[in-house]
Amino acid sequence: MFRSPALFEQFPDVIAAESTRHGGVSPTPFFSLNLGQSTGDSATHIEENRRRFWQALGVSASQVAKSHQVHGSDILTVTQPGHYDGYDALVTNRANIVLTVTIADCTPVLLYDPVQRAVAAIHAGWRGTVQQITAKALMKMQDEYGTDPADCYAYIGTCIDECSFEVGEDVAGHFAEEHKRYDNGLQKYFVDLKATNLAQLRDAGIPEDQVEVSPYSTVLHNEDYFSYRLEKGQTGRLLAAIAICNR
Domain ranges of the chain: 2-161+206-244
Q: Hey, is 121 helix, strand or coil?
A: strand
pLDDT for position 247: 59
pLDDT for position 38: 85
Amino acid letter for position 142: Q
pLDDT for position 84: 98
pLDDT for position 222: 98
Nearest of 124, 122, 100 to residue 191 by alpha carbon: 124
pLDDT for position 37: 86
pLDDT for position 76: 98
Residue 43 · residue 101 · CB < 8 Å:
no
Residue 242 · residue 153 · CB < 8 Å:
no
Average pLDDT per consecutive 10 residues, the chain (247 residues; last block may be shorter): 98 98 97 94 97 97 97 98 98 98 98 98 98 98 98 98 96 97 95 98 98 98 98 97 89
pLDDT for position 42: 95
What is the C-alpha to C-alpha distance for residues 120 and 169, in angstroms, rounded to an integer?
32
What is the C-alpha to C-alpha distance for residues 89 and 139, in angstroms, rounded to an integer?
12
Nearest of 46, 55, 40 to residue 26 by alpha carbon: 46
CATH match for 2-161+206-244 among 3.30.420.40, 3.40.50.720, 3.60.140.10, 3.40.30.10 = 3.60.140.10
